[in-house]
Amino acid sequence: MKRKVYVNDLQPGMYVDELDRPWLETPFLFQGFPLRDAKELALLQQYCEFVYILDERSEKIAPREHEASHRFNTRQLNVAPQAQKRRTSQDHLQLISELRRVKTTYDQSHDYIAEVLEDVRFGRSFNIEDGKQLVEKFITSIMRNENALLLLTQLKDYDEYTVRHSLNVCILSIVFGRHLKLKPAELKVLGLGALLHDIGKMKIPSAILNKAGKLDKAEFERIKQHPLYGYRLLSARNDFNPVVAEIALSHHERIDGKGYPRGLKGDQLKTLPMMVAIIDVYDAITTKRCYRDGISPHEALKLMYENEIGAFREDLLDRFIQCLSIFLVGSIVELDNGEVGIVMSVNHEHHLAPVVLLVLGPDKQPYTPRKVCNLQLLARNGSPVRIKRILESNAYNINATEILFEENDFLSLQLI
């Protein structure tokens, strides 16, 4: 049941479903979140007079014994500095230019990982040097403009799940690593480990990997061996950092000890494998599979934020959410003038004004050709245009993956 509660009457452990003001005017990560400690409660009291809570969800929330100050440390993420320097149309051109340039590297990486997986499946030796070079190209591209590669992670393919998933986890890991200010050598290890993290799946029968229904106990136990298979394949070589093999071994471990294959807990889990573990889950649940539909990037982060508290290091999960921003690349959004589009890139200095690929006009009819706009620059009838709400995946039958495949080289996009 939803009920109104004044903020002074709130207690840690309650689930806040709705605020008394627009969510985007506050520093909170999501519209709907669990209150876990007194610091979060105090922050909520700064912004709201009352909220609406859900009793049925509140019953499932365990308050924290120790306060953590980082969870809603996102004011800069939502509220842009007043002295913000306006972007120019060069932002559009830079993004499109990088998309065209890095698409070639992405396609090469797709072919590379497909070849590696095929070699492993048939017991052949696989090439690692090309993988290192491709990871370095990804790092260089991300340093120039991370949004281009982030956008390409939306190119999910039901029939090529393992290949696309490996590429996406690699790209997202490098972006996350850069956000955490990892050194270049660490980024290379992280990227290569992420690219090859699922290599052990090629030792699992395809009938199990591609099964449409729920796995039985024996099948799931077999699936749980793929990190160990990957570790054995990678640790048998000496031409790269051994942490790469550790990433493959530990990307399904969880700090509460409920992961596999070793059931590690807490500090037994190192930072780089835990980063890949978080991203592995994120990309998996945003991808359509034979047994379920994928969900939107925003829905995925909200789900992880609410349900994975005990599984991952909380500081890393929060930093990953902050890294991807409020309006994630690939999210479907509706503007306050009625237009609907897909977020193409975020502006880390002005998170409320991303670059959007406009798909539908105010009348919800398709744009032909589609248009790209930078919301920081756009004004209609003298007023700024803002994002009104984030829509669920496939809203208005928009399929972000299909649209990006259709654009292909992005040459037809109209810049406005």
Query: CATH number for the domain including 309?
Result: 1.10.3210.10
Residue 360, pLDDT > 90, answer: yes
**Both 177 and 46 in a single domain?**
no
Q: 220 lies in a domain?
A: yes
Q: 82 lies in a domain?
A: no
* Rounded Cα distance, 217 and 223, in Å: 10
Please list, in sequence order, all residues whose beta carbon lies within 8 angstroms of the beta carbon of residue 133, skipping any fewer than 6 positions away: none
Across 284-311, average pLDDT: 78
**Both 42 and 96 in a single domain?**
no
H or E element in which residue 217 lies: helix 217-223
**Both 256 and 160 in a single domain?**
yes
| Radius of gyration of the chain measured on its C-alpha atoms | 22
- 12-27 confidence digits (pLDDT tens): 888 888 888 876 667 6
**Both 125 and 231 in a single domain?**
yes
Residue at a domain's end among 324, 355, 386: 324
**Both 101 and 69 in a single domain?**
no
Whole-number pLDDT of residue 291: 56
Q: 343 lies in a domain?
A: yes
Whole-number pLDDT of residue 304: 87
Structure tokens at 357: 């690929």
**Both 39 and 161 in a single domain?**
no
Q: Name the least confident of 21-35, 107-121, 145-159, 207-221.
A: 21-35
**Both 220 and 118 in a single domain?**
yes
**Both 160 and 248 in a single domain?**
yes
What confidence tier does 87 reach under pLDDT thresholds 50, 70, 90?
A: very low
Residue at a domain's end among 40, 75, 110: 75
Q: 192 lies in a domain?
A: yes
What confidence tier does 77 reach under pLDDT thresholds 50, 70, 90?
A: very low
**Both 218 and 174 in a single domain?**
yes
Q: What pTM does this model have?
A: 0.76
Structure tokens at 399: 């399929």
**Both 373 and 302 in a single domain?**
no
Distances (CA, A) of 26 to 187, 296, 317, 384: 33, 22, 20, 19
- 311-354 confidence digits (pLDDT tens): 999 889 988 988 887 677 888 899 988 999 998 877 666 667 78
Across 80-94, average pLDDT: 47
Whole-number pLDDT of residue 100: 77
What confidence tier does 298 reach under pLDDT thresholds 50, 70, 90?
A: confident
- Domain containing 389: what range? 332-415
DSSP string, 180-244: TT--HHHHHHHHHHHHTTTGGGGGS-HHHHT-SS---HHHHHHHTTHHHHHHHHHHT--SS-THH
Overall number of domains in the chain: 3
Whole-number pLDDT of residue 415: 59
Q: 85 lies in a domain?
A: no
Whole-number pLDDT of residue 70: 46
Across 242-247, average pLDDT: 97
**Both 144 and 11 in a single domain?**
no
